[in-house]
Amino acid sequence: MADHRSDLTELIRNQLAERDICDVAGTHLLEFELRERLAALGVTVTPDVSVTLMAVAMLLAEKAPEWGGDSRDALGEIAQLGLALLCEGEGDASG
């Protein structure tokens, strides 16, 4: 299971590395808002929560190509939010 998590986080890291600085900054703002919302709902951010966000986003992106580019971008951002939550203690989610 650890190998699958590593593969998933590496994939998301690579996607994050390809984004421009404005997109990365927007994701950081969304991460802050997501953390606030999860806290208000009483959801503890754990590695499992983070990986779940990434896995769901990637699954939907792979299985729903008819959604088009905008939706795929949004799903990619969800996956990157999951990575940011996972990497909280590491400082920088991009690597």
Counting residues of the chain whose pLDDT is more than 70, the rounded percentage is 80
Q: Which helix (H) or strand (E) holds 59?
A: helix 47-63
Q: Is the pTM of this model over 0.85?
A: no
- The domain limits of the chain are 2-89
Higher-confidence position of 69 and 53: 53
Provide the token pair at 80. 């990157």
What pLDDT, on a 0 to 100 scale, did the predictor assign at position 72? 65
Residue 24 pLDDT greater than 90, yes or no: no
Whether 12 contacts 78, CB under 8 Å: no
Q: How confident is the model at residue 2 (pLDDT cuts 50, 70, 90)?
A: low
φ/ψ (deg, to 5) at 18? -85, -5
